[in-house]
Amino acid sequence: MKYTNLIKNHTATINYANRGMELENDLNLTNTYYLDNDIAVIYKKPTPIKIVRVDFDYKKSATIREAYFKMPSTTDYNGLYKGKYIDFEAKEIKGRKSFPLANINNHQIKHIRNILKHGGIAFIIVKFSLLNKIFLLKGEDLITIIDTSKLKSIPLSTFESKGYLIKEAYMPRLDYIKIIDRIYLGG
Amino acid sequence: MKYTNLIKNHTATINYANRGMELENDLNLTNTYYLDNDIAVIYKKPTPIKIVRVDFDYKKSATIREAYFKMPSTTDYNGLYKGKYIDFEAKEIKGRKSFPLANINNHQIKHIRNILKHGGIAFIIVKFSLLNKIFLLKGEDLITIIDTSKLKSIPLSTFESKGYLIKEAYMPRLDYIKIIDRIYLGG
C-alpha cells in the first residue's frame, strides 16, 4: 500500500488512534515510507491468532468463524536496514511517570535477549501518550535494567537519560532509523 | 514450546501433513531446534488475517467471530543467523516436473528483491511431495530466472542444477542452516 493511501486510512482511523493505536499507525506509516523510498524493509508482524473454526463457502473465500488472540512469542516488528537485522516492540501507555514492564511479556524479553546474542539490533519504542513523548530504548539497556534492578516499571527519567527521543514529523512520521544510524551504525 | 513437545504434536498432525502441511511442520520443528540450541532465531510469521467482528465476553477472552485470510505481502519466515538477516518462503507442491511460479505472489517476489537489495539473505524452499525431494534455491537465482526467462514454472532440473538438496533427518529435521553456512558464509 502506498504512503498516500495509508495517510487516507490513517485519517479514517482517528477513532482507533484515540484508543491507543496511534503509535502503531504512525510506525506503519513510517515503515511504508522507508519501504517506498528504499531506505529499509521493516514490517509489523500479523497478530497471532488461534483459528478454531472456518466456514468454506463455494461462492466466496473462507470465513473464519471462531478464533482467539494468542500471546505473541516475539516482538511485533522486524526487518532489515543496511544489511542489519532490526527487531523491536512498540508500546503506548497512559501513565505519565513510568513504563510498567508488564507491558512486555516474558517471551518477548527472552526474544530480545536472543536477538542481541545473535548479533541483531533490538530495542523498544515507548510512547507516553499523555505527555506526547516517544522514546527509543536500546535492548541492551532494557535487559540491564531487568537484570540489575528489581524495578517493576522503568521511570520516565530513565527514558530521558538513557533513551532517545523520537520527534514526530510529517514524513517519515517517526524517523527512528535516524537514531539507529547514530547509535548503532555511527552514521 | 520444546522440541519434544513439538515432536508429539507433529505425530498428532499426520493427517494435516497429508494435506500439505508437512513442510511447514518440519520447518517449525527445525526452527524450534535452532532456537533451543542457540543456533539461530527464525520464526514463521503468523497468518495475516483481516478481522471484521470480535465478541467480548466478560467471563473469557475476546472471540473473533468474523475474519478473512489476507494475501501475504511478505514471505512466511524470517529471522537472524550469525548476525545476518534471513528471509524465505516455503512451498510444498504435488507436481513432479516443475514448480509453478504462481505459488509465489507478486508482493512476495518484490519482497525478495527488496531483501536482496538491502543486504539480506533470501531464498525459497520447495518440496516436491510426491518425489519427497526438498530444495533450497537462492533468491538471486529465483530473480534471475524470473527476469531473464518467460517461464511460468521452474523445472525440477533447474532445482537439481542450481538449487541445494535439503536432506531429511531426525533433528534438526531439515538442516537448511548448514546450506546457508556453505553457500553464503563460506562455512
For B49, the closest chain A residue by CA position comes to A46
Question: pLDDT tens digits for A6-36?
Answer: 444 443 333 444 456 899 999 999 999 999 9
- CATH code at B3-46+72-184: 3.40.1350.10
Residues of A in contact with B111 (CB under 8 A): 41
Percent of chain A with pLDDT over 70: 88
Mean pLDDT for all residues in chain A = 90
Q: Judging by beta carbons within 10 Å of its beta carbon (0-12, 13-18, 19+), is residue A125 exposed, middle or buried?
A: buried
Rounded to an integer, what is the distance from CA A180 to the centroid of its chain? 14
Q: Tell me how many residue pairs between chain A and chain B have CB atoms under 8 A apart.
A: 102
Which of B2, B32, B35, B41 to mutate against chain A (most A CBs within 10 Å)?
Answer: B41
Q: Would the CB atoms of B117 and A83 count as touching at under 8 Å?
A: no
Answer whether A82 sits within 8 Å of B47, measured CB to CB: no
DSSP label at B156? H
Are the Cβ atoms of A85 and B82 closer than 8 angstroms?
no
**Closest chain B C-alpha to A13 CA, distance in angstroms:** 15
Instruction: Given CATH 3.40.50.720, say whether it is the number of domain A3-184.
Output: no
Are the beta carbons of B92 and A90 closer than 8 angstroms?
no
pLDDT tens over chain B, length 187 residues: 444 444 444 433 334 444 568 999 999 999 999 999 999 999 999 999 999 999 987 767 899 999 999 999 999 999 999 999 999 999 999 999 999 999 999 999 999 999 999 999 999 999 999 999 999 999 999 999 999 998 999 999 999 999 999 999 999 999 999 999 999 998 7
- Which of A63, A64, A114 is the best residue to mutate to test the B interface, defined by the most B CB atoms within 10 Å of its own CB? A64
Per-residue exposure over B115-145, b if at least 16 CB sit within 10 Å of its own CB, e if not: bbebebbbbbbbbbbeeebbbbbbbebbeeb
Q: Taken in order B87, B90, B96, B102, is the CA torsion positive or negative? A: negative
pLDDT of residue B19: 53
Backbone angles phi, psi at B48, to 5 degrees: -75, 130
* Interior/surface letters B75-91, b for 16+ CB within 10 angstroms, e for the rest: bbbbbbbeebbbbbbbb
Closest CA relative to residue A117, chosen from A89, A140, A136, A86 = A140
pLDDT in tens, A72-110: 999 999 999 999 999 999 999 999 999 999 999 999 999
Using an 8 Å Cβ cutoff, are A135 and A93 in contact? no
Q: If pLDDT is split at 50, 70 and 90, which confidence band does A61 have?
A: confident
Q: Which of B45, B47, B63, B80 to mutate to test the interface with A (most CBs of A within 10 A)?
A: B80
Secondary structure (3-state) at A96: coil
Average pLDDT over residues A126-132: 96
Structure confidence at residue B150 (pLDDT): 87
Tell me: ipTM over 0.90: no
pLDDT higher at A5 or A110 = A110
Q: Quick one: pLDDT at residue A16?
A: 42
Position A150 confidence tier, pLDDT thresholds 50, 70, 90:
confident
CA distance A20 to chain B (A): 17
- What pLDDT is recorded for position A19? 54
- At residue A15, the pLDDT reads 43
pTM comes to 0.89
- Give the minimum alpha-carbon distance from B60 to chain A in angstroms, rounded to a whole number: 11
Residue A59: strand, helix, or coil = coil
> So what's the pLDDT on residue B187?
74
Kindly list the domain boundaries of chain B, sorted by start residue.
3-46+72-184
For residue A5, which amino acid is it? Answer: N
Share of chain A above pLDDT 90, in %: 83
pLDDT at A120 over 90: yes
Per DSSP, chain A holds a count of helices (H) and strands (E) of 7, 10
Question: Is the pLDDT assigned to residue A60 strictly greater than 90?
Answer: no
CB-CB under 8 Å, A48 with B68? no
CA distance B66 to chain A (A): 5
In total, chain A counts a number of residues equal to 187
pLDDT more than 70, % of chain B? 88
Cite the DSSP H helix spans in chain A: 3-12, 14-16, 22-36, 106-117, 139-148, 156-162, 176-184
